[in-house]
Structure 1
Amino acid sequence: MRQKLQSSLEASALDIEDVPYQHAGHTAVKDNANETHFNIRVISPKFEGQSLVKRHRMNGL
Structure 2
Amino acid sequence: MTDASFAVTAQAMQSHLQQTLVPTSLEVLDESWKHEGHAGANGTGFGTHFRVRIASPAFDGKSRVARHRLVYDALQIFIDHGAHAIAIETL
In structure 2, relative to structure 1, the CA distance for the partners of 1:28 and 1:2 (3 Å cut) is: closer
TM-score normalised to structure 2 length: 0.55
TM-score normalised to structure 1 length: 0.76
**Root mean square deviation, CA, Å:** 1.6
Q: Which amino acid aligns with 1:23?
A: H
Q: Which amino acid aligns with 2:54?
A: V
- Structure 1 residue ranges without an equivalent (≥5): none
What is residue 33 of structure 1 aligned with on the other side? 43
Structure 1 CA distance for aligned equivalents of residues 58 and 49 of structure 2: 24
In structure 2, relative to structure 1, the CA distance for the partners of 1:16 and 1:6 (3 Å cut) is: same
User: 1:12 aligned to 21, 24, 28, which one?
Assistant: 24
> Which runs of structure 1 show a deviation greater than 4 angstroms over 4 or more consecutive aligned residues?
none
Shift of 1:24: 3.0
- Structure 2 residue ranges without an equivalent (≥5): 1-12, 76-91
Structure 2 CA distance for aligned equivalents of residues 46 and 3 of structure 1: 16
Structure 1 CA distance for aligned equivalents of residues 34 and 62 of structure 2: 28
Q: Which has the larger radius of gyration?
A: 1
CA contact under 8 A between 2:25 and 2:54: conserved in structure 1? Answer: yes
Determine what percentage of the aligned residue pairs are the same residue.
41
Shift of 1:33: 2.5
| Larger relative contact order, structure 1 or 2 (CA cutoff 8 Å, min sep 6) | 1
